[in-house]
Structure 1
Amino acid sequence: MDFTSDNASGIAPEILEALGRANAGTASSYGADGVTARLKAKFSELFECEVEVFPVVTGTAANALALAALTPPYGAVLCHELAHVHLDECGAPEMYSGAKLVPVGGAKAKIDPALLRAELDKLPAGVVHHVQPAALTLTQSTELGSLYSLDEISALTAIARERNLRVHMDGARFANALAALGVSPAQASWKAGVDIMSFGATKNGAMAAEAVIVFNRDLARDLSFRRKRAGHLLSKMRFLSAQLEAYVADGLWLRLAGHANAMTAQLAEGLRNLPEAVLHLAPQANEIFVRLPAETLLRLKEAGAGFHRWPMPGDSDGAYTVRLVTSFQTDPEAVGRFISIARG
């Protein structure tokens, strides 16, 4: 009953097998291998346009390098106030780019267009005393498990275009978003106005593999150098590339994410039937934020359930919010057991 994080899950068998194949024999180093060479074509087909692909080890590196490609050191990156880049990456985006993160509000962890305009109005272009707005970053799915619709993404990227901002998408859980929305990777990214994205795989079955996907190829010019300088040009790059290749082969990534989403839906349905449970948002992907009585949570903990406390307005010592995250490995029986124990 481990609902702490999808990072707690293991490696999908198909990806583990791909790593085994990559381990046979020798291969050229630093990305000059055959597997890495195939990634550009595979991701270009996946996204229905010619892209550049830069595998890296962590999502933090993907976000930081992508944002560094979008903004000068005197620039500003507009992000949601709950964004991972803002709260959970120890200043890495600012360190790699030199830019300033400017948080923007909005319900359900989604940037409100009116609030975005208001923040941009505070930083007029050409005024030497202010950082200059250079980029907008959106998280899909968000830190609260909500999803931007295609129309919502397009509305925000339209504002960015009006102000000459480039757009980045943090897609650590992009697969979960697509599995839920039922749209194509292209529709949810460059066709909606995204220039560059962090494409996540680690949370959804990879061992450790993320990628910077560049749709606006002008932005790819110096990313090779930024990646090397950041220490993410692996000498044995084939082991990153093999994970990514297997991840997107035959729709594996969407099947894995679909299972995780289905487990969240099952868990949410059981929680809704508990009169004392308060779901803060209707789950859309693979995360639930629910307030339960402290005695219920203690009973779950004592039975071996894993989850993280997640402070929310309205919490108290008697009842507080926890985050529950499902993964491609979540067992339906574990979901049923969790609900049964919570029910008492």
Structure 2
Amino acid sequence: MLHFPKFTQIRNSNEIDVFAGNYFRCSGFNVNRDYYETNQVFAIYCHGNMIGGFVLGTGETLRTLEVFASNEHRDNLYRQVQESKPHTEMCCFWMAPDIRKNTRLNFFIWLCVAYALWAYGTPQLIFGTNSVRLAALYSATPKCHLLHGDYLNHKQTFIFTGPRKDCLVGVAQILIFPEEWEKGKVLVFNYFSSPAGATRADHIKVERDIWKPIHAARVKDGKMKAWILYEMEFPFGASMPYNMATADVYTDMKEYLAPWFEGYFKKVHPGKDMNQLIQQTQAVTTLQKGEVRMILDRLDWK
């Protein structure tokens, strides 16, 4: 007998409790009950069990910015959001661990996300994550823009925006992207600008003093293929959104998605406060955007 999954908006207190418990187990985040009760909560069921879900929020306070942006950047991000088209945030997304490798149910859950965004969302969407895996998926979509990247609680965080009209295409890209994970090499481009009072020389110094030794250790351990630091010479001018860049090179997506952050900080900079080193970096450079690209072909790279 075939069992079809069910997609529904939930309002019942008991169902919201189940949703909240599942989301906490999957993400480690406790969410204020008021947030669930004042926004739209959606769940996917299979065989009577809740297997996934997400929340669409449209309030003045965006959980995406509260959770994934540091205090020093949050006000500016709110201004950027408020000055543009009305935003709907997609957050509290979760999928039961035993479902993640089930292609059929995975496909269904992402289609539910696309439908809900199309049916209930505003023209512009905003969403965030501290999962490098999800960030890589979001980055693969054609119209997705990295609004902000940060480091909070020893983890990288990512905030994305994108137009609602392209959400179906974006979901299709997410579903196709994993099939390419094991093919070719992976290039991660990070674009930086200099905040007021900081110079390129300041950025170069923190890259060489803090980050280059970390990446050198990763390359030595076979956890990374290469790391490159770039300085932009042309074009130039106030309209340029960035003036520095780095490229991280990985053998495949499995290598890219492997956790490394906290472990290598302790290994390479023993006895130093990781948060202070991150703050030292953020004081002299701002991550403007990141891109994850797959190498499809090449002539001279072994």
Common fold: TM-score over 0.5 = no
> What TM-score comes out, normalization by structure 1 length?
0.26
More strand by share: 2
Greater RCO structure (CA 8 Å; 6+ sep):
1
